[in-house]
Amino acid sequence: MPDWRGIVRHRLTPLRVGEKRQEDIVADLAGHLEDLCEDLVRQGKSESEAVQFALSTVADWDELRVRCAAQEEDVMNYRVRALWLPGACTSALSMLLLRWFQGMSPAPPVIWVWHGTFLVIYWRWLLCLPLIGAFGAYWSRRAGGQLLERVVAASLHILGLTCLMALTFCIALVIDFRVSLSLRLVGFAVYVLGWGITPCFLLLLGALPFLRGDAAESGQAAASH
């Protein structure tokens, strides 16, 4: 049997997609042509006839190349509309409100936990989070976002902060020995509770009504308006 991947790669590439995506497309098409060729050989055709017939099923390689690139652009546009754009806007709104409330008086309450570890409660900001989460999830659903896209769009800011803090904590464990491990663990737990779990819960609480429903119907409703 011929090298189907080499044949497809020679005829189809280069594609205007990422390298990994290009290899996936080549592998999928090569696997389809190889299966077709093997079926034809089992039916009694010679190998050369089966190869020629399999290749003839692709009428226009240039058109296929254009269609693959257009499909990839559609996927990227979908991710921007349904995930990154609403996620970026909710993140910006959350940070702007937090900075605004940080400058307001009176000062927010402070909870002292253990050995100098404390947590500042920006309660005004926390009260706004359900509305921000609802806004992000609604926007994502209107753009046709699936459940995961809606969840991330609603809580992207907090997910980013939590990941950043986890990375900082791991680096501190390696390079900083001035603070005891128990104090670091308490500080990390307090941070995750105050700046991760609680805000994320409030964001998703607001997003909950928009996590239901069919994304395709929402996208069609948005298009009809």
Q: What is the largest CA-CA distance in the chain?
A: 86
Domain shared by 33 and 127, yes or no: no
Give residue for tokens 């005891």. 180
Structural domains counted in the chain: 2
Domain shared by 86 and 179, yes or no: yes
More confident residue, 108 or 16: 108
Three-state secondary structure call for residue 2:
coil
Domain shared by 52 and 102, yes or no: no
Q: Is residue 66 part of a domain?
A: no
Range in 13-17, 101-105, 194-198 the model is least confident about: 13-17
Q: Is the pLDDT of residue 209 over 60?
A: yes
Domain shared by 16 and 125, yes or no: no
Q: Is the pLDDT of residue 216 over 60?
A: no
Q: Is residue 92 part of a domain?
A: yes
Provide the residue range defining the domain that includes 50. 4-58
Domain shared by 42 and 88, yes or no: no
Q: Is the pLDDT of residue 207 over 90?
A: yes
Instruction: Of 62, 222, 53, 85, give the one whose Cα is nearest residue 149.
Output: 85
Q: What is the pLDDT of residue 224?
A: 45
Instruction: Of 2, 4, 50, give the one whose Cα is nearest residue 27.
Output: 4
State the DSSP code for 179: S
Q: What is the pLDDT of residue 222?
A: 43
